[in-house]
Structure 1
């Protein structure tokens, strides 16, 4: 067996790049120390747990507790955090056997004490830390991992098609704390998958076996299913399990917080008395005792307002770049602190043509005689520099979809491929395809004279998708391509994407770091279909089922699928690099997706009393947002909490000063006003759609002259300074 350290080294860049976050603790990049290694022999608990019928804290902690170094200082116990249902994830973030380092370059032990990879890449061995317990006090053992793999991942009722990354996997239990995942073929990147998706690899067997037919009489189980109000045992299991979140009140957890109450409008979490981590002073984490999460679903404007007025202690998930000016106004008034992180997405909007769409003429345009010219034309028609200024205040990076800049496989030429704004060249390519304006309405038709209209369906969530696509629609119309936008809600997006009904759609381009790109290279070849990936469902199903379902892809795509397998299975860095570069080169040449602007500024808003939150970070799925920044070490300093304690006071009511009209459109005026160093894009945004970019009132585009904003600028320009800085945050 190779040592764990050697296995870690095989997964990350040999030459570590300079770190952009020099104030992060060194411990965030390394395997965590334990109490015995640091000489910690006494332990403390929160007074919140005093008087409860619990064993002493030393008995609730593992044999050798994990020590987490806070961002700045040892914290204080106490308090209830106010947040939203989405942002509550940031507090009770997942606990996996393995985890990801802060720089997204290393896989580190977490619940596991160590792990190793066999020389042939087929066997991953994991050893758990002794004495870790579920929130109900039951020990964590290898059986909990066995149960999840065998009776969920591979159960024929729960998972009719076994997920490809665990197909053929055999679970070998060595003892209560040590086990192996053994694959028939090399799977050296399994540790990455185990780290990122680790919450899907462990369930409290002692709890869930009562809901599984392998452990309970089916008649008894059917009665329980009916009693609980479900149709099948699978739906009941899924409801209790959640999306790896243990959302149900009754389900034990390993995380810092446990759900204790849930209503249609609120979820309350309280500290897990058996949480396995401590700080360097021996205090059991977390510091904060409870979390109250309001359920606002996707009302992002209301969430932004509450964050700006100090009504929430942590907000980030549904915030967008356009919210930053409003949020900064709250910071000027002393109601919050606004940290600017950068999103991990190499493109906030990755446009996905559907190569398997049920329209022969459209498919021929995308893939057949079009020879990729149609997609290249659409890419060259997009003015990404203007988009960057109008939407991102010039702080994003125009890019195609490729590996993240932190990746050892990143090349700038891949990111810049076919990205030049050149509408004349775009028109030339479209002319070559015989897409002429037959009826003189300024829009092109197919060579047979029929209308060429692209229906673009999308879910407007997380990144500024709607605003981006309004611009793209107008850019494409300028070269004669008619595109109709259709915003859909979440369930419809999922249904239509999976059923191959979307002609064109989008998502943000995450899963592009070295942790996830080798495992789920969604943007680079068809290997899965889902609600977020709808480019090539039929080709993906053919791949997933070894040709039993779906549609055989063209030879080029089959070759890419081969290289995708090689990327995942390669046991040498040389072979892995060749596979990665082959996929990235093909994506740059063929433009499977069309990128826009990425690495954009993302607002992370905290109350003035919340401490130990890093002011700089990378926001996104690849690092599970805040997971690597240890939210269990966040704490409240009530000496600096006046604004947080009275969120509806006069300062909040007068957030915008003497002229509160800006409250009627929180994303409008300030967003336009931040660009007064070069307001050309805002002053002449080409047409009505761009003039109305931030709302129905066209004054949004002219906001350098807005009275409320001019008053703010005269009083305090602190809120605006970040956008004029010469460097990105």
Structure 2
């Protein structure tokens, strides 16, 4: 009988991450699944929970014990964003707590030996949402049959599994133990596991094996291919293996809620996972909320529907400009509007594409004097007052003050509104010729028109660019704004067809020494300033271009040094240099940061922090605040 357990709670240091607290539990069967239990279709809660569940200390964190039940309404603007339930649910092998420390979650505990050897201990009795045991076999299947299978993963295992190009030794001593060991430190391993978009280094082997050529009966697999209308078993396997997309209701999950809507388009329902591994101190299985209803609406309707009281929890799709209308609707809509801090390095950033396909323009964009001039030519104070009532922080793109690598001089670098200095830099470049309209000319005689592409999703971006258009006229530069659909914008940037684009700054503006610097190195195409350099790294040279600018090459070298460093002090020193290089070279032209993020919370919803940080990484937006602990007062 399930009565006593030990909670692996607190985090660790470089040598390990285990601490235990004795907790007496007598699990309570909730009302949501009681009918299924009574009918014999589902085991009782005592048999559904791991023998060592995770028991969060709610009181220590200022939370209240809740009561289960209710449906929580939220909204997204695209059907594909059902994946936000993986972000908000935030069940991870290890994850961040609210102090941004990495702690065990799905894992019972983890032993870390100098970032070289990681021994994972699974929770005995932990089960997938369909009731099948979650064991080391699920890790083995991913490693041996998916990640290193040439048909399913032609490029091999994901990059963070490599240290200096070498993969780890992976072993599975028993059904509750998994060991990863590298020849040198892999300091990004745990951080990657805790991300908003986790790598999922495990798979429900029992579900996917019937779709794998090494395990499936050939005739049965052929029939499955015919029914799915795909040509290869690998295509069928990959289609079904969508842990992050979260759009396959048949795929077992470890998240707090599981998708219950098949082939949905505008409305999706997620119901509580009967085998979820977390239990409150009273023995109530989490999540408290039974059902999450996710409605797909047009981007322009999110604020209006929130104002009408049609959501219980909403931040995605809301901007600071919506605060006034949200505040007005609080009484009639029965909600409150919290203003959280923002974890992105810049609320609005302009990215000159250093990999732009036009040779003459690329040479101009790569001249640091040009990027500095563009930055000096922006009146950030006017933008701040006009869009954020002066509540945001003006400055270039750099880390936020909560990071140990923050320097005030980096925020101010090339960010003062100085038209004279900007024009002097452009003249120094030799861009002195102008047309009859006063627009500067490129060396080949073309007018200096900068086309800045946007995703067309945030009115604040368009409003800010309207101010920049007027600012840059004083530099003899014409800015042309081109709104596009998000996916089209990204594809144009990645292909080198976009001259410049606007996006947020770094998702993680709060880096610590343990944070992987891959996003500040030329390693990701998602950083719009160097998409082809990022592709070169991400594909191990199969596509893209190697970095060929001195500062970018230095960032590349520093990122490799960070990955092989043995101490937090050394990693911190490397981080600081990388942050300084970005500030000096203005790879992205930050406008401002710290603009408050409105968060709409139903008056009935409890345990939602009034003061918090809205951040994709680290934090997974709502995830770090544990939505499974939110509950309705009635």
Q: Contact 2:170–2:179 (CA<8 Å) still a contact in 1?
A: yes
Q: Which runs of 5+ in 1 are unaligned?
A: 13-29, 639-729
Q: Which residue of 2 aligns with 1:519?
A: 516
Aligned length: 605
Q: Which residue of 1 aligns with 2:529?
A: 535
Q: Which residue of 1 aligns with 2:29?
A: 45
2:457 is the alignment partner of 1:444 = no
2:311 is the alignment partner of 1:276 = no
Shift of 1:6: 11
Q: Distance in 2 between matches of 1:562 and 1:128?
A: 36
Q: Distance in 2 between matches of 1:225 and 1:326?
A: 51
Q: Which residue of 2 aligns with 1:421?
A: 417
User: What is the CA deviation profile of residues 519-561 of structure 1, one whole-angstrom value per residue up to 9, with x for unaligned ones?
Assistant: 2532x321122xx323223333444456565434234422221
Q: Which residue of 2 aligns with 1:75?
A: 66
Q: Distance in 1 between matches of 2:111 and 2:429?
A: 54
Aligned positions of 1:160-171 closer than 5 A: 160-162=154-156, 163-167=158-162, 168-171=167-170
The farther-off stretch of 207-216 and 252-261 is 207-216
Q: Which residue of 2 aligns with 1:625?
A: 621
Q: Which residue of 1 aligns with 2:590?
A: 595
Q: Distance in 1 between matches of 2:288 and 2:15?
A: 33
Q: 1:207 to 1:319 in 2, by over 3 A?
A: same
Shift of 1:499: 1.9
Q: 1:426 to 1:195 in 2, by over 3 A?
A: same
Q: Which residue of 2 aligns with 1:259?
A: 259
Shift of 1:210: 2.1
For residue 329 of structure 2, give the secondary structure of its aligned residue in structure 1. helix
Aligned positions of 1:226-625 closer than 5 A: 226-230=226-230, 232-242=232-242, 244-262=244-262, 263-296=264-297, 299-333=298-332, 335-367=334-366, 370=367, 372-436=368-432, 438-461=434-457, 464-509=460-505, 510-514=507-511, 518-522=515-519, 524-529=520-525, 532-544=526-538, 549-552=543-546, 553-622=548-617, 623-625=619-621
Q: Contact 2:435–2:447 (CA<8 Å) still a contact in 1?
A: no
Q: Distance in 1 between matches of 2:467 and 2:147?
A: 42
Per the normalisation by structure 1, the TM-score is 0.78
Q: Contact 1:241–1:247 (CA<8 Å) still a contact in 2?
A: no
The farther-off stretch of 244-253 and 226-235 is 226-235
Q: Distance in 1 between matches of 2:43 and 2:10?
A: 39
Q: Which runs of 5+ in 2 are unaligned?
A: 1-7
Q: 1:627 to 1:5 in 2, by over 3 A?
A: closer
Shift of 1:409: 2.0
Shift of 1:516: 9.4
Q: 1:305 to 1:234 in 2, by over 3 A?
A: farther
User: What is the CA deviation profile of residues 597-646 of structure 1, one whole-angstrom value per residue up to 9, with x for unaligned ones?
Assistant: 112200110222212211111112111011121111111123xxxxxxxx
User: What is the CA deviation profile of residues 685-719 of structure 1, one whole-angstrom value per residue up to 9, with x for unaligned ones?
Assistant: xxxxxxxxxxxxxxxxxxxxxxxxxxxxxxxxxxx
For residue 455 of structure 1, give the secondary structure of its aligned residue in structure 2. strand
Q: Distance in 1 between matches of 2:458 and 2:13?
A: 33
Q: Contact 2:353–2:493 (CA<8 Å) still a contact in 1?
A: no
Shift of 1:124: 1.9
Answer 1 or 2: which has greater helix percent: 1
The farther-off stretch of 41-50 and 471-480 is 471-480
Q: 1:334 to 1:92 in 2, by over 3 A?
A: closer
Shift of 1:274: 0.9
For residue 278 of structure 1, give the secondary structure of its aligned residue in structure 2. coil
Tell me how large the CA RMSD over aligned residues is. 2.7
Q: Which residue of 2 aligns with 1:225?
A: 225
Q: 1:92 to 1:300 in 2, by over 3 A?
A: same
Q: Distance in 2 between matches of 1:542 and 1:223?
A: 39
Per the normalisation by structure 2, the TM-score is 0.89
The farther-off stretch of 594-603 and 396-405 is 396-405
Q: Contact 1:518–1:567 (CA<8 Å) still a contact in 2?
A: no
The farther-off stretch of 617-626 and 453-462 is 453-462
Q: Contact 1:92–1:257 (CA<8 Å) still a contact in 2?
A: no
Q: Distance in 2 between matches of 1:126 and 1:582?
A: 34
Q: Which residue of 1 aligns with 2:42?
A: 54
Shift of 1:233: 4.3
Q: Contact 1:502–1:534 (CA<8 Å) still a contact in 2?
A: no
